[in-house]
A and B are shown apart, each in its own frame.
Chain A
Amino acid sequence: EVQLLESGGGLIQPGGSLRLSCAASGFTFSSYAMSWVRQAPGKGLQWVSVISYSGESAYYADSVKGRFTISRDNSKNTLYLQMNSLRAEDTAIYYCAKGGLIVTHFDLWGRGTLVTVSS
């Protein structure tokens, strides 16, 4: 079955760090760019970051640049998002999505993992 499954979310204090993971299955993970998209409670979607199929190129939204790092392990079919210096405004459901860069749309989404930044 083609799917993406995120994990690693939770409650974290402001200034803290968290690493999200996204396990891919059912498609050739190493052939596709992958992205993270987030959704604050009751709000719309916001693109966060994208990484090329090889992992050589990565890009970030201005709001997370310098604090978040996207990476991937193609041998494990897994995408990561390292989040540092977390702020209350980072509170959101984080979705892993297939696509980005050359494929300028997101054709497969995971169920998401909730990150809550609060003291």
Chain B
Amino acid sequence: QSALTQPASVSGSPGQSITISCTGTSSDVGSYNVVSWYQQHPGKAPKLMIYEGSKRPSGVSNRFSGSKSGNTASLTISGLQAEDEADYYCCSYTGSSSHWVFGGGTKLTVL
């Protein structure tokens, strides 16, 4: 099972919005509405930001939103803040023996 495809890096200025894409296949992202997104600061554990495509866990800012179209899921962060600078990973259930597959990660830089 190949990793989901994410851009290696994205950047934006404070206050702007950015979108990170996550492209899979009809066997994973396209088949299940269970894409999740994780934020990871350097040296820290990942933190769940979005689950089931567009739901936010309690305590996560509403500046974070998720969506999906076909085989591609997206994470949008609006009103960028310096603290948003981190690595972001998408993840999807695959239904195969691999069960869960992650994206390669996207480094977000807040300029």
Q: Footprint of B on A, CB under 8 Å?
A: 35, 37, 44-47, 50, 59, 61-62, 95, 100, 104-112
Nearest neighbor of B33 in chain A, beta-carbon distance: A104
B101 touches A47 (CB 8 A): yes
Give the interface size class of chain B: 20 to 34
**Chain B residues, Cβ within 8 Å of A62:** 1, 97-98
Contact of A44 among B45, B47, B51, B89 (CB under 8 A): B89
Q: Footprint of A on B, CB under 8 Å?
A: 1, 3, 32, 34, 36, 38, 44-48, 51-52, 57, 89, 91, 93, 97-105
Known: A44-B3, A44-B103, A45-B89. A104 touches B34 (CB 8 A): yes
Q: Determine chain A's interface SS by DSSP, over half rule.
A: strand
* Docked CA distance A47–B57 (Å): 21
B105 touches A95 (CB 8 A): no
A44 touches B36 (CB 8 A): no
Known: A44-B3, A45-B91. A109 touches B102 (CB 8 A): no
What are 10 pairs between A and B in contact, CB < 8 Å? A50-B99, A59-B97, A59-B99, A61-B98, A100-B99, A100-B100, A104-B36, A106-B48, A107-B48, A110-B45
Minimum distance in angstroms from B43 CB to a CB of chain A:
9
**Chain A residues, Cβ within 8 Å of B46:** 37, 45, 95, 106, 109
**Chain B residues, Cβ within 8 Å of A110:** 45
**Chain A residues, Cβ within 8 Å of B101:** 47
* Docked CA distance A59–B1 (Å): 15
Nearest neighbor of B92 in chain A, beta-carbon distance: A104
Minimum distance in angstroms from B47 CB to a CB of chain A:
7
* Docked CA distance A44–B8 (Å): 11
Known: A45-B38, A50-B99, A105-B91. A111 touches B45 (CB 8 A): yes
Contact of B93 among A44, A104, A112 (CB under 8 A): A104
**Chain B residues, Cβ within 8 Å of A45:** 38, 46, 89, 91, 102, 105
Contact of A47 among B32, B47, B100, B104 (CB under 8 A): B100
